[in-house]
Chains A and B, each alone.
Chain A
């Protein structure tokens, strides 16, 4: 039996004045997976506050840049061009560069994923004040994308060395660059250059 409250959707609607798109599916083992897409990313904090008060646990978060939909055929003469595609809510362009941020909450085994969309170079509120578990997740998101997490208490790099340029998942890093230390000759030359040795 799913342990999600029956009125979860109604509670989420009340907490998000910008509007939500809600869907839920329960499998044959009675495990429910629900999705709550926010029309306005600024509704994230009240939604997270509601879930925290309900005892939900923040399992993890996912950030990625969804691929833009295929361009529509050019308009025929006299017709208007189709509007540029956007995510739910209409404010954020679905241009392949905007971010989708999925917050996966656990409610007694069931999963609720709250989805926010942020334009490229945009900001999202930090959940770290509500959830300790958001801290490392947000630090990781900030180093692999050029996403700004507003109000993060400790926005240091998590896994990737500060010497490496950020937003590593937003650009091509050739394999030879990725593994530069694995080449004995390359590494040796690097050490010689850094130490100023001649041989």
Chain B
């Protein structure tokens, strides 16, 4: 049996963004992986120190498209702590709605791509069609399909009237049974199970060691979700179901995401039922931001997103640092890909729901 080195990336048909994997293989089996990153490093942490606090709401939303709502939210949470702003209750519920709408679309996108990589094209198209209903929701409620511009310092910059609530409920009534049907497909279909069960395993101990978060951690049995462990916005008043599975394979990660998409629909309904009246921002003026530092944390679709902000006497932050959930998953990939078959590499890489723009900033 011969040993080879196979390059995957930086530009590769299985990667939506550039990353370079150097695979050392023995015959058909991957023995070692080395990752070279940096192809979409844009220096955004430098750029945020050149813009004022309010301009950065716009910039942070553009770090990544799939978790675009989570970045300005965690950033705003940190600024609100420094400024001592209390987000009004209605805005807290509206923030949770925006979060969960994005989560449904993000998870369905990843699970859809899995079907594509398995070669099950009709399922891929079906999942994307269901996701499209949530894209319509984003366009209808927020006016945009990806960067929804929901957050502002001190609250939200959108509101929903009874007509839009009716439309949202109507869409959820269509999406929920469709997700249930997709879950059943992924649970029982031979093509899906054959390519994903026991593939790309990350054990519980390895997941803890790598510091994994989000669906990747929960599919390896780690019961951690920021919405429950460190509640923010309205999550302390919502019944958030956390989904874990013990096996840590590609299938478990997909099933956790699907279960979370279904729970997200439930959370949006909880929010709509409990949505209080009142203002949507703490202030209509641009509040002064004093000297200080703070941490903001939220559960992005891929897991814990943490922001650190330091303000001095300038309107521009002295430092903003954020760490996205994907950051640790690249290390975890080393465990998942070890002894995997070359044909499974793309499926395993997709199973961490990789976000390279987020990782490199």
Contact = CB atoms under 8 A, between A and B. Distances in A.
Interface string B37-52: 1100101011000000
10 contacts: A31-B231, A33-B295, A59-B306, A60-B322, A66-B318, A102-B308, A104-B308, A111-B295, A158-B37, A160-B41
Contact-residue size bin, chain A (C-beta under 8 Å from the other chain): 35 or more
Interface in B289-309: 294-295, 297, 304, 306, 308
Interface in A14-72: 27, 29-31, 33, 57-60, 62, 64, 66-67
Interface residues of B, number: 36
B294 A131 contact: no
Which among B228, B304, B308 has the highest number of chain A CB atoms within 10 Å?
Answer: B308
Interface stretch (B243-251, B323-331, B344-352): B323-331
A161 B37 CA distance: 9
Contact of A131 (B211, B297, B319): B211
Interface stretch (A5-13, A85-93, A132-140, A186-194): A132-140
Nearest to B334: A132
B73 to A, nearest CB: 15
Interface of A: 3, 27, 29-31, 33, 57-60, 62, 64, 66-67, 102, 104, 106, 108-111, 113, 131-133, 135-137, 157-161, 168-169, 178
Interface in B1-44: 37-38, 41, 43
Which among A106, A108, A131, A158 has the highest number of chain B CB atoms within 10 Å?
Answer: A106
Which among A33, A110, A131 has the highest number of chain B CB atoms within 10 Å?
Answer: A33
A64 B331 contact: no
Given A60-B327, A62-B321, A132-B331, A169 B46 contact: yes
Nearest to B320: A62
B59 interface: no
A58 B43 CA distance: 23
B156 to A, nearest CB: 18
Contacts of B226: 109
Given A31-B230, A33-B295, A135-B331, A158 B38 contact: yes
Interface in B181-224: 208-211
Given A29-B230, A62-B308, A109-B230, 20 more contacts: A58-B211, A59-B304, A59-B306, A60-B327, A62-B319, A64-B310, A64-B319, A66-B310, A104-B308, A106-B304, A109-B229, A111-B295, A132-B211, A133-B211, A136-B330, A157-B38, A159-B38, A159-B360, A160-B38, A161-B38
B241 interface: no
Nearest to A34: B295
Nearest to A143: B38
B160 to A, nearest CB: 24
Interface in B129-143: none
Contacts of B318: 64, 66-67
A134 B232 CA distance: 26
Given A66-B318, A132-B331, A159 B41 contact: yes
A20 B268 CA distance: 44
A60 B38 contact: no
A29 B236 contact: yes
A102 B331 CA distance: 22
Given A104-B295, A104-B308, A161-B38, A132 B210 contact: yes
A137 B294 CA distance: 19
Nearest to A3: B229
Contacts of A33: 81, 294-295
A55 to B, nearest CB: 9
Nearest to A67: B312
B297 A111 contact: yes
A120 B298 CA distance: 33
A29 B38 contact: no
